[in-house]
Amino acid sequence: MPQNEPDGEKRDEGLTKTSGFARRMAALLVGVFVVYAGLVAPHEGEFWPFSIYPMFSKAGGSWAKVAVREVDASSWPNSYSSESYTVDQLPGVPVALAPAGIDYNDVANFVAKTDAWTPERQADLRRLLAPVIETDRRLLVLRVRGAFDEDRRVEVAAEPVVLVTATETQVLP
Amino acid sequence: MNRIARWAAGEQPDGARLLEWTVVAWCAWFAGQWAVQIAPAAVLTEPAGLAQYVDLALFTRGAWPMLWAGVAWAGLALGVFRKGRWSYAVAVVALHVLYVARFSFGKLPHGSNLTATILVGLAVAAVAFREETERRRFVMAYAFVFVGLGYGLAAVSKLVGTGWTWPDGQHLWLWIHEKGIDRLSRDGAWTPSLLQGLVLDSRLAGTLMLSIGWLSEWIAFLLPVRRLRLPILLLLAALHLGVYPILGISFLPNLCVLGVLVLSRVKWRAGAPQKV
């Protein structure tokens, strides 16, 4: 059956090619996996786009967010300086950040990461909030913390951090 | 390695081109979105990725973000039309620069990771394989491995970060309030939805939801097993669809990728869908 020989050869060639392709494919998959592990391991699990996806991994831990309120001119600044508020009793009226094109997560993360309000940090905060800073507007930035209390109930408390006006930034004690 | 090769040899190219277009479209969207957002938010306080080694502050100013977006768009366009083997690789680098310049506040969002991980696969395929069928077969094998790995790692992170008590419904109460404060900041107001109210009233309901979600992530490690792919993909899609009404996180790019992978497991013949 000489006419079958080319077919057989072609089939063998095809098999060899497929197996060569498969080996190469396997090597590349393993290679990318090694690079993935090699990049995320020394970078706390994050080297975009590779990630160990740690979001929501620490359940039950406290969190810190931010709320921005427009406060009354007559009571500024002292009455807001040292109190802690519940979410239902926040002073002033809410300032929605999204309609002004501000990513609320940026502000929340920035405030959460700021321990010392240096002039540079204050300037950065003003830059983040620029779209909502207006003449005669007083913006109170509150750090909102959530955690379980002793009875495992959710306790949310907001503490005033910074007061921002069109002309100055006041760090609250 | 031989076992992996034998497994890889059985991969089919179905759906690869649709997956590629989906990934390219999302990555183009990310590039534009980040470039626009960099300027007002450019405060490199917690550098991530390459920004830990190279000062990228310059790239956050002036026209630089849009230039990087342009490079990413060009790379994506050339890659999808098969012009230049390194086009996708260039797009990956440009997107990385945009991402680390955009997100440097210490908290990194994960909405783009899965999609862009597949873009890395497209870049590897473009460099390593010349034949279109080989490229597509590789991309599909890669997608199932790394999508499964991504969700599986999320499950492992929860185990490492919290332990086996992670699915306790009380934990969900804390997250619902956290997302409520996000909503308060974003829109100026927040009241719990009906479903959120149900979870806040019932620890058991929350525990059940978290348990099912976590189990879905663990099972995702098995995504490379071909006969299990369809149920696992549907389970992961259901996970995202369940998370949205509770925590308001949509992960739309992931849903699109999962949807395309579901379609790749179904062949349409004479109008009737059949499982592959």
pLDDT of residue A96: 86
B175-200: b or e for each residue (b if 16 or more CB lie within 10 Å)?
Answer: bbbbbbbbbbbbebebebeeebeebb
- Cβ atoms of B148 and B222 within 8 Å: the answer is yes
Q: What's chain B's length in residues?
A: 276
> What three-state secondary structure class fits B86?
coil
pTM over 0.90: no
Whether chain A has a CB inside 8 Å of the CB on B45: the answer is yes
B112, B114, B119, B124 alpha-carbon torsion, rounded to 10°: 140
Tell me the nearest-neighbour CA distance from B265 into chain A, angstroms: 20
Which residues 168-227 on chain B approach chain A with CB closer than 8 angstroms? 168, 170-171, 173-175, 177-178, 180-182, 184-189
CB B17 within 8 A of CB B142: no
Name the CA dihedral angle for B77, B79, B85, B90, rounded to a multiple of 10 degrees: 70
pLDDT attached to residue A101: 84
**Do A60 and B210 touch, CB atoms closer than 8 A?**
no
Choose between B161 and A75: higher pLDDT.
Answer: B161
Segment A9-45, tens digit of pLDDT: 554 455 555 688 889 999 999 999 999 999 999 998 9
Who contacts B157 (Cβ-Cβ below 8 Å, separation ≥6)?
A45, A52, A53, A54, A57
Of B97, B102, B106, which Cα lies nearest the Cα of B45? Answer: B106
CB B192 within 8 Å of CB B176? yes
B91–chain A Cβ distance below 8 A for any pair: no
Which of residues 82 through 141 in chain A touch B, CB cutoff 8 A?
Answer: 87, 93-99, 101-110, 112-113, 124, 127-128, 130-131
Q: Is the ipTM of this complex over 0.85?
A: yes
Task: Closest CB to B1: pick one of A27, A58, A96.
Answer: A27
- Give me the phi and psi of B124, to 5 degrees please: -65, -45
pLDDT at A2: 43
Question: Can you tell me the distance from the alpha carbon of A166 to that of B161, in angstroms, rounded to the nearest whole number?
Answer: 43
In this predicted model, what pLDDT tens digit does every residue of B218-266 receive, in sequence order? 999 999 999 999 999 999 999 999 999 999 888 999 999 999 999 988 8
Give mean pLDDT, residues B85-99: 96
In this predicted model, what pLDDT tens digit does every residue of B45-64 receive, in sequence order?
667 777 778 777 777 778 88
Using a CB-CB cut-off of 8 Å, the residues of chain A touching B149 are 33, 36
Model pLDDT for residues B140-167, shown as the tens digit of each residue: 999 999 999 999 999 999 999 999 999 9
